[in-house]
Amino acid sequence: ALIWVMERCGHGELLVLFGVLVALGGSQAFDAVGVKADLGALFLGVLLAGSAKADELSKTLLGFKDLFLVGFFLNIGLSREPDPELLGVALLLAAAMPLKTVLFFALLSRFKLWARSALFTSLTLANYSEFGLIVAGVAAAGGWLPADWMLIIAVALSITFVAASALNAAAPRLYERWSAGLARFERPERLPEEQPADCSGARVLVCGMGRVGAGAYDFAEKRLGGGAVVGIDSDPAQVKAQQEAGRRVVLGDATDPDFWERIKGADQVQYVLLAMPSHGANRRAGEEIRRRAGEAMRIGAAARFADEWADLQKAGVQVVLDFYREAGAGLAERVLEQGEPSPGAEK
C-alpha cells in the first residue's frame, strides 16, 4: 500500500512530505509497542526499497539528512565551550588525517587501481566519518564514554571535513602536479574496470550516457551508421545497461587525463559530445581534450545557464548549445514532422 501511495505522489513537494511522514510514522509506531523508534523508520525504508521511485525519494530526502546533521553538530557545539586542552586533543586526532589518506592510497594502489583513481578515492575518504560521532553520542549517553570526548570528536571531525573539502576541490590540480611520482606506485596488472578503453573505428565519442547522451548517441549512429559512435560513462551500472540496449559503450572517466592517454583509436575520432550531468565535468573534459587534440576534434556540449556557456567556450568547446532552447526546438521538430492532423483529430 505504501508503494502504491508513493508512486502517485508525483515528483515535487508531495513526495518529500510522503518521505517525512513515512519516517516519522514508522518510528512512532515502533516506539508505541516498545521497540526502538529508529528501527521503525529503517523497516519502512526497507519495504519501500523495491519501488522504482525509491532512488528518487532517497535523493529528495538527502537535503534533510544534511540539515539534521548540521543540527546534530550544532547541538554538540552548544553543549560546552572547548578549552585549550580539548582543542589540543582534537588537533592531534585531526593530524592523523594525512596518514589515513596515505594508507588508503597505498592500499588502493595494491588493489591494482590507477594512481588517479587511488588518489581521488583516498581524498574522498580522507575525512573522519560523521557516523563515528553518532556512535560516540550513543556511547556517551550510555555512560561508556566521557562527555568531553563528544566535543573532542566533533571538533576533530569538523577540521577534517574542512580540510578534505579543500583537498577534493583541488584534486585534479594535485594529480596533474604529482602524476609522475604517483605513477610509480601503480602495479603492472589492472582491474577489468580499469583496462584501456577500445574506441577503434569511432568517429564520434559521447561522454556521459544518461538520457541526453543516449539521445545524442542514437542520433549520431543514425546519421553516420553503426560502429561510428562510442559512448563513454564512468558508472559501471550505466555502461552495462547501455550495452544491453545494443549501444557500444565503454567504461571510463572523460575528466581523467590518463583515460585519454590510454584510449585506443583516439586518432580516428573527429567529434566529441560532452553530455555529462555536471558542468564542471564537461568543462574539465573539454580542457583535457583540447589540450591533447588541439583543433583535430570538434567538441560540443549543452549548457543551462549563460555563465556556463562562456565557461565551456573558454575551455575549448567550439559548439555550445542552450539546453532548454534545443529541447524546445526538438519538441517542435518531432511534432511538426508528424504532419498535419486529420480532420477528425479535434473531436
CB 54 within 8 Å of CB 2: no
**Is the CB of residue 158 less than 8 Å from the CB of residue 73?**
yes
Say what the pLDDT of residue 107 is: 92
Mean pLDDT, residues 48-64 taken together:
79
As a whole number, mean pLDDT of residues 235-244 equals 92
The predicted structure's pLDDT at residue 347? 46
Query: H/E/C letters for each residue in the chain?
Result: CHHHHHCCCCCCHHHHHHHHHHHHHHHHHHHHCCCCHHHHHHHHHHHHCCCCCHHHHHHHHHHHHHHHHHHHHHHHHCCCCCCHHHHHHHHHHHCCHHHHHHHHHHHHHHCCCCHHHHHHHHHHCCCCCHHHHHHHHHHHHCCCCCHHHHHHHHHHHHHHHHHHHHHHHCHHHHHHHHHHHHHHHCCCCCCHHHCCCECCCCCEEEECCCHHHHHHHHHHHHHHCCCCEEEEECCHHHHHHHHHCCCCEEECCCCCHHHHHHCECHHHCCEEEECCCCHHHHHHHHHHHHHHHCCCCEEEEEECCHHHHHHHHHCCCCEEEEHHHHHHHHHHHHHHCCCCCCHHHHC
pLDDT of residue 231: 94
Strand partners, 1: none
Over residues 131-159, mean pLDDT: 83
User: What's residue 299's pLDDT?
Assistant: 93
Residue 100 confidence (pLDDT) above 70:
yes
Q: How far apart are CA 139 and CA 119, in angstroms?
A: 33
Asked whether residue 345 carries a pLDDT value surpassing 70, the answer given is no
User: Residue 339 pLDDT more than 80?
Assistant: no
- pLDDT tens profile 162-203: 899 899 888 888 888 888 888 888 887 777 666 778 888 889
* Residues in contact with 123: Cβ distance below 8 Å, sequence separation at least 6, in sequence order: 101, 164, 167, 168, 171, 174
Encode burial over 147-180: b for 16+ CB neighbours within 10 A, e otherwise. ebebbbbbbbbbbbbebbeebeeebbebbeeeee
Q: Which CATH number fits domain 196-336: 3.30.420.480, 3.40.50.720, 3.30.465.10, 2.60.40.420?
A: 3.40.50.720
Please report which confidence band the pLDDT of residue 249 belongs to, taking 50, 70 and 90 as the band edges.
Answer: very high
pLDDT above 50: residue 94: yes
Query: Span 313-338, mean pLDDT?
Result: 83
Give long-range contacts, CB 8 A cutoff, 24+ apart: 120-124: 120/171, 120/175, 123/164, 123/167, 123/168, 123/171, 123/174, 124/164, 124/168
Band of residue 77 on the pLDDT scale cut at 50, 70, 90: low
114-128 residue pLDDT tens: 888 889 899 999 988
**Of residues 141 and 99, which shows the higher confidence score?**
99
Distance (Å, whole) CA 207 – CA 220: 13
Going by pLDDT thresholds of 50, 70 and 90, the confidence category of residue 343 is low
In whole angstroms, how far apart are CA 148 and each of 92, 96, 103, 105, 130? 15, 20, 29, 32, 17
Q: What rounded mean pLDDT belongs to the chain? A: 84
Distance, in Å, from the CA atom of 312 to the CA atom of 317, rounded to the nearest integer, reads 6
What is the arithmetic mean of pLDDT over 307-313? 87
- Domain borders along the chain are 1-73, 79-192, 196-336
pLDDT of residue 214: 92
Residue 10 has pLDDT above 70, yes or no: yes
- Assess whether pLDDT exceeds 90 at residue 324: no
In this prediction, residue 47 carries a pLDDT of 82
Does position 27 have pLDDT exceeding 70, yes or no? Answer: yes
The three grid cell numbers given for residue 170, joined into one nine-digit string = 583541488
Distance CA(344)–CA(347), nearest Å, equals 6
The Cα–Cα gap between 114 and 196 comes to 11
Percent of the chain with pLDDT over 70: 95
How many other C-beta atoms can be found within 10 angstroms of the C-beta atom of residue 234?
A: 19
Least reliable range by pLDDT among 61-70, 201-210, 253-262, 279-288? 61-70
**pLDDT computed for residue 240 by the predictor:** 92
